[in-house]
Structure 1
């Protein structure tokens, strides 16, 4: 299917090397649009491609009751159009080119797609990012007082930083909060698989905070791509929350990765408490749109995914 200069391609027809080169070259490129990431987490994905892969849009899709739809996929927090020289007209052209067989949409776009389109109602959501290019001293002086207090508390409890935590241990802690809520066993297995690959490439790293008895109080998996470090999976022990473990962990990561051309991407949040926590390190909001469209006939709307 071709609309103007935009083609709809099934996954098998997508040139993986050219796709990944396009994501790398895009000013709004992201981990979540890399072909290997999409292949790992999406049961199905096709794409819209303009010209010689100048601009691209992944279309992760699922099927329910025989109906194909575009919906959220766990661990894929940005979608939409990727490329350079984007504007409202280009975004509309891509959205117009989505095949009509996808009659229900509910998915995120990205911070480079932040345009108002009357034909496509969107909701702005909030992410927090912290540039790590300044020195540690310059970053740390912007911490709120409560961050300093909690780091001091963690040090007083003799917590230690552990960068040799096994990913399975992070998943065990994370699943206490997420299991049967958003992530399934299959999702975690997919995460485990991609972590093994990226860690072997030097593009993934785990930080943990342990007590002096070896108990894991806080942990996080970071992935590196497109000039960002993504704070992607967090596993915290309930006792660590009031002991400053998460504060100590993020500070340790910042200390180790400051003065580099890198941005710490907190991957959220619209939840006020988390937003306050991330901003307490000096992070600032970055907005991106999400889109929801229901073109199902009235008698089928009960099938909404």
Structure 2
């Protein structure tokens, strides 16, 4: 018999990894119309290496709300952390949900785990009713609505971006899909990766596994920009029914000279224009990168980065390189 831990009036349960029914999980996401790909069970399996639990509201044997909790052990105690390549998680609710307050789930997580690091959607206009020892700060994602046709989207491009794209039209750049993520990983390792020694071989391997799973589930794509048979830039994107997410990308020095990444993103936007979807640039707090994304007309959308450190004297816990890379990767 499965051991279940009931919480909050016997409707919210803490489910250990082996207790989570992936089929019911996915049905809940579908019923909620949830668009964040990071919340898919297969995605969590990869980025958490199979080590995640969840707070789940269950009614009539169906999951009506889910709140994933990536966990790791540190000094013998389970902690909740934000996995790499996972910008946001958070609460998913359906029409049948009776527990729809994110603060309630965070409070439960705080009562169950010693320390928590978590990032989740939180609109700028919404108050965040958490007390000490919780701390948090808002961070910007950058998103572009793709309801207009391409000509209208391009009208909102920054003048400098339009100028650079005009140059690319004269430089014989080509955008091609590819079945392998290895050239992208090698390009990154040979460029930006040299500035990020914290990104180890196991992290690149996890990204390769993530791409393989994303491709298997019909949402993962890698696109490359070539000029005279030379790879200048590449990007790993996740394309779902409601959202296209720019997860990981790289450019060579020559690619930057020829504005290859701007060309790549512009081509993807042409593909999706008029679809009504959202193009998710994944945001950045690096001013130059944020300005680059804003140049496409993308708007900042707030989310929160939360931290629960009950005892300041406790050894600071950083389970992986997420927080460093979140500031420097993009």
TM-score by length of 2: 0.84
Deviations 1:29-52 (A, max 9, x none): 411111000011103100000133
- Gapped regions of structure 1 (runs ≥ 5): none
Task: Tell whether 2:224 aligns with 1:208.
Answer: yes
Task: Tell whether 2:152 aligns with 1:145.
Answer: no
Please name the residue that 2:6 is paired with. Answer: 2
Deviations 1:247-283 (A, max 9, x none): 1111111112212132110011122111111110111
Distance 1:302 1:281, change over 3 A: closer
Please name the residue that 2:236 is paired with. Answer: 221
Distance 1:220 1:239, change over 3 A: same
Please name the residue that 1:301 is paired with. Answer: 315
Alignment partners' CA distance in 1, 2:127 and 2:273:
32
Cα distance, 1:74 vs. partner? 0.8
Give me the CA root mean square deviation. Answer: 2.4
TM-score by length of 1: 0.91
Cα distance, 1:152 vs. partner? 1.8
Q: Is contact 2:48–2:70 with CA below 8 Å preserved after alignment?
A: yes
SS across alignment from 2:93: coil
Q: Is contact 2:28–2:94 with CA below 8 Å preserved after alignment?
A: no
Please name the residue that 1:190 is paired with. Answer: 206
Matching of residues 226-245 of structure 1 within 5 Å: 227-245=242-260
Count residues in correspondence: 303
Q: Is contact 1:103–1:296 with CA below 8 Å preserved after alignment?
A: no
Please name the residue that 1:49 is paired with. Answer: 56
Task: Tell whether 2:79 aligns with 1:73.
Answer: no
Deviations 1:113-159 (A, max 9, x none): 95411324321111011112211111111111111111122222222
Alignment partners' CA distance in 1, 2:110 and 2:253:
46
Range with greater deviation from structure 2 (222-231 or 197-206)? 197-206
SS across alignment from 1:292: strand
Matching of residues 110-125 of structure 1 within 5 Å: 110-111=121-122, 115-119=127-131, 120-125=134-139
Task: Tell whether 2:23 aligns with 1:17.
Answer: yes
Cα distance, 1:2 vs. partner? 1.7
Please name the residue that 1:272 is paired with. Answer: 287
- Gapped regions of structure 2 (runs ≥ 5): 320-330
Alignment partners' CA distance in 2, 1:142 and 1:304:
40
Range with greater deviation from structure 2 (98-107 or 48-57)? 98-107
The structure 2 residue matched to 1:31, chosen from 28, 37, 45, is 37
Q: Is contact 1:162–1:207 with CA below 8 Å preserved after alignment?
A: yes
Range with greater deviation from structure 2 (133-142 or 92-101)? 92-101
The structure 1 residue matched to 2:116, chosen from 105, 118, 130, is 105
Distance 1:87 1:279, change over 3 A: farther
